[in-house]
Structure 1
Amino acid sequence: MSKLLFVIFLGFCVAAKAQIPQPDPDTTARHFLIVASIKSLQEVSAGNLAAQKAMRPDVKAFGQMMVKDHGDTEQKLLALAKSRHIILPSAATGAIRPDLNLEKASTRFDQLYVHAMVAGHGNTVQVFENYATAGKDPEVKAFAQQMLPTLRHHLMEIKAIEEK
């Protein structure tokens, strides 16, 4: 009887482990670069929109900074991916549009943009910190570490704008 319970218990453990998504160590660098590319392109796209639609000068200037900084980051990221022989899908390197609510916003644009940038940069910093500490590919890890100060600066800037 106890052997039967042990076998059933073991079966539940195996089934439970199978349902928990496990990271694929062979695609960690590729996955990070895909996520980082999409995030950079989202920042550029939303930044272009902010440069056009923002009412507040600080929000407009932040949008312009996003276009420049994340555009530069994207170029470095693509060069890194190429040097590592990592092919990124076109969905991660093509034209990415900002959130539809942001595009349709009128008088609330600044508020929605700032809120989106605080949340987005908080998440982006976390993604880069995770790879910078636990990443397997040393060159991709160095890239993540190199970009962190700029991303943290963006987060600090947008939080200061949010407080106004």
Structure 2
Amino acid sequence: MKKSLLAIVCAVALTACKKNETTTNEMSTDSLEMNMPADTAMIQDSMAVSGDTTQSGTLNDQDRTFAMEAAKSGMMEVMHGQLAATNGNNAKVKSFGEMMVRDHTKANDELKSLATAAGLTLPTTPDASQQRMHDDMKAKTGADFDRAFAEMMVSDHQKAVDLFKKHASQGSDAALKQFAEKTLPTLEQHLAQSKELRDAVK
């Protein structure tokens, strides 16, 4: 009888220990589950930040500055070219304007594609200063317009050549650097032709 009673006590004690162990494990699991969301959230946040970072993050300041300046310059050449093609008094001015529209539209489209691939949004409208310059040009007529246009083309293309030449040698992004190298000869040709145009309409 005593042995039976002892066996029952032992069984009860073992059951209690197992229950306590289970409770401890459950508490440990609960504790882990309670801590998991915060840790998981941190990891997810980190991944989200990494995923949301566009490829423009691979462009350094010089790459971004070049792309933005080249886009603004090219956009203005197209606008002024369109103006020269319609408002030019001299046939050479009209012809040069048409070339500006054709060549710079092509370069602008290529630059836009590269910028889009890098997650960089380029300007699509002139800034206040550029708009004033365009309005001033638009107000001119006849020989006055021709001379002002030719002078602007020399000045603009000298700046563009300097910009593209610098990026062709110092740029970091391979695609933008290649674009600068490929476009530079055309800009240098434009610069030479704009100087000839300036002399022709003096």
Answering whether residue 134 of structure 2 is matched by residue 99 of structure 1, we say: yes
Structure 1 segment 9-158 matched on structure 2, within 5 A: 26-88=60-122, 92-94=123-125, 97=131, 99-107=134-142, 108-158=144-194
8 Å Cα contact 2:60/2:172 also seen in 1: no
8 Å Cα contact 2:71/2:111 also seen in 1: yes
CA distance in 1, matches of 2:60, 2:183: 23
- Matching residue of 1:159: 195
CA distance in 2, matches of 1:147, 1:163: 25
1:55 alignment partner, SS class: coil
Which 4+ runs in 1 deviate beyond 6 A? Answer: none
Q: Which of 1 and 2 has greater Rg?
A: 2
CA distance in 2, matches of 1:150, 1:26: 26
Q: TM-score, normalised by structure 1?
A: 0.79
CA distance in 1, matches of 2:170, 2:78: 27
More helix by share: 2
Cα distance, 1:86 vs. partner? 2.0
1:87 alignment partner, SS class: coil
Which residue type is aligned with residue 103 of structure 1?
Answer: K
Percent of aligned positions that are identical: 31
Cα RMSD (Å): 1.5
Counting matched residue pairs gives 137
Which residue type is aligned with residue 47 of structure 1?
Answer: G
Structure 2 portions without partners, runs of 5+:
1-58
CA distance in 2, matches of 1:100, 1:55: 18
**Higher relative contact order (CA closer than 8 Å, sequence separation 6+):** 1
> In the TM superposition, what whole-angstrom CA distance separates every residue of 1:37-74 from its partner, at most 9, and x where no partner exists?
00000000000000011011111000000001101111
Q: TM-score, normalised by structure 2?
A: 0.64
